[in-house]
Amino acid sequence: MLAIAGLPLALVLVSACSGSDDNGTSPSAAPAGTLKVITTVAPITSIAENIAGTKAQVTGLIPEGQDSHTFEPPPSAAKVLSDADLIVVNGLKLEEPTLEMAQANKKSGAVILEVGTETITPEQYKYDFSFPESGGKPNPHLWPNPQLTENYAKLVHKQMVKLDPTDASYYDANYAKLKTNLEKLDQQMKAVTQTVPEQNRKLVTYHDSWAYWAPLYGFTVIGAIQPADFAEPSASEVASLIDQIKEEKVPAIFGSEVFPSDILQQIADETGATYVDKLRDDDLPGAPGDELHSYIGLMVENMRIMIPALGGDASAINTVDTKLVFTDGPSPADYPQ
């Protein structure tokens, strides 16, 4: 809770994990003085939610299942952003319209935190299939890499403590638990990826989300089918990828929950690869309030999908705790659906 005139305001818990029905622009009413945190994509919302616990109101702006690259915030989002104490975006040019609106409408003293931009240096940027260097936009999908996501959490925790020192010890405890869980996720992801035969550690996906994950676990991204303009790939691009998949003997190709495409089925039919269409980029599994509806749940579910399709054993990932780290009350976080 924020302190006003040196005195903390009591926090009254609000309803648990309710999903907004107004494109993420109708956060639950929070008691006066409560730290208000606005986030963009659901994985970042989940990180902020775990640290904030019951002491801050976390509200996502981008509905789950929408394309975060092309999302345009509605005019009503300006008021939500103007009320925020902390606005957390990925940055790296992912949510440019939302960031521009935040910069134009934030109140005095509010902080805009670009967690992705502050996590890696320009020398570490990945330019690849959907994000060519000529386009000037690096691949922004850092969060599949839990070591980078751990830095997201560190940055969010630091700002929450700075803005709401009254509840610093609470945020400290939640951050410590989350850090432990992220380290366990990384450990078990290393374990399950090592069960994949070395010759199968190749990824072909529709959306280009795995560039920072693959090298950490000894994988190579052979291709991402979605072009830089997020349109459908050309016939020549598809033909070239089919030849490469055959040559590399890629056992499975992965579609996206957010970007369904019939082209992947065509590629699978022509190459003999298995087509798996359930991989998730930033759409958390389950519904708000479910144990699996979290950043860690997202990555656990992705491993359950990816590893067996590539010939490995994902059972070790089931030891990772996907639940919220706090237990002192229901979560007041809003996830737009």
Nearest to 258 by CA among 130, 90, 69, 67: 67
Q: How confident is the model at residue 13 (pLDDT cuts 50, 70, 90)?
A: very low
Q: Name every residue whose Cβ is closer than 8 Å to that of residue 232 and which is 6 or more positions away in sequence.
A: 261, 263
pLDDT, one tens digit per residue, over 94-141 is: 999 999 999 999 999 999 999 999 999 999 999 988 898 998 999 999
Q: What percent of the chain has pLDDT over 70?
A: 89
Number of separate domains in the chain: 2
- Label residues 71-100 b or e (16+ Cβ within 10 Å = b): bebeeebeebbebbbbbbbbbbbbbeebbe
Shared domain for 165 and 289, answered yes or no, is no
Helices 262-271, 235-248: inter-axial angle, 10-degree rounding: 40
**Residue range 186-194: mean pLDDT, rounded:** 99
Q: pLDDT higher for 228 or 278?
A: 278
| Strands, E assignment, 51-155 | 56-60, 86-89, 111-114
Note whether residue 328 is domain-resident.
no
Note whether residue 73 is domain-resident.
yes
Residue that finishes a domain, picked among 163, 186, 209 = 186
Shared domain for 213 and 78, answered yes or no, is no
Average pLDDT, the chain: 90
User: How far apart, in Å, are the Cα atoms of 52 and each of 23, 218, 228, 327?
Assistant: 22, 34, 35, 12
Residue 125: what are its φ and ψ, rounded to 5°? -60, 145
Shared domain for 50 and 78, answered yes or no, is yes
In which domain, by residue range, is 133 found? 3-186
Shared domain for 107 and 250, answered yes or no, is no
Shared domain for 32 and 110, answered yes or no, is yes
Query: Is the CA virtual torsion 80, 82, 83, 88 positive or negative?
Result: positive
Residue that finishes a domain, picked among 119, 151, 186 = 186
SS3 115: helix
Note whether residue 172 is domain-resident.
yes
Note whether residue 331 is domain-resident.
no
Can you list the alpha helix ranges (DSSP code H) found in 230-294? 235-248, 262-271
Shared domain for 16 and 154, answered yes or no, is yes
SS3 33: coil
Shared domain for 140 and 78, answered yes or no, is yes
Measured CA angle at 119 (ends 118, 122), to 5 deg? 80
Note whether residue 327 is domain-resident.
no
Residue 109: other Cβ atoms inside 10 A: 7
Burial class (CB in 10 A: 0-12, 13-18, 19+), 208: buried
Shared domain for 149 and 115, answered yes or no, is yes
Nearest to 322 by CA among 220, 174, 184: 184
Query: Is the CA virtual torsion 137, 139, 141, 146 positive or negative?
Result: negative
Shared domain for 164 and 239, answered yes or no, is no
Tell me how far apart the alpha carbons of residues 86 and 11 are, in angstroms, rounded to a whole number: 18
User: How far apart, in Å, are the Cα atoms of 313 and each of 174, 203, 214, 272?
Assistant: 31, 17, 17, 21
Q: What CATH number corresponds to the domain at position 211?
A: 3.40.50.1980
Note whether residue 88 is domain-resident.
yes
Shared domain for 175 and 208, answered yes or no, is no
User: How far apart, in Å, are the Cα atoms of 63 and each of 10, 107, 147, 268?
Assistant: 30, 24, 25, 30
pLDDT, one tens digit per residue, over 38-82 is: 999 999 999 999 999 999 999 999 999 888 988 999 999 999 999
Q: pLDDT higher for 305 or 69?
A: 305
Measured CA angle at 70 (ends 148, 27), to 5 deg? 75
Tell me how far apart the alpha carbons of residues 1 and 107 are, in angstroms, rounded to a whole number: 18
Residue located via tokens 């090592």 = 194
Note whether residue 336 is domain-resident.
no
pLDDT, one tens digit per residue, over 309-337 is: 999 999 999 999 999 999 999 999 999 99
- Label residues 290-323 b or e (16+ Cβ within 10 Å = b): eeebbbbbbbbbbbbbbbbbbebebebbeebbbe
Note whether residue 333 is domain-resident.
no
Statement: residue 87 has pLDDT above 60: yes
Q: How confident is the model at residue 24 (pLDDT cuts 50, 70, 90)?
A: very low
Shared domain for 242 and 103, answered yes or no, is no
How many helices and strands in the chain, by DSSP H and E? 9, 10
Shared domain for 162 and 74, answered yes or no, is yes
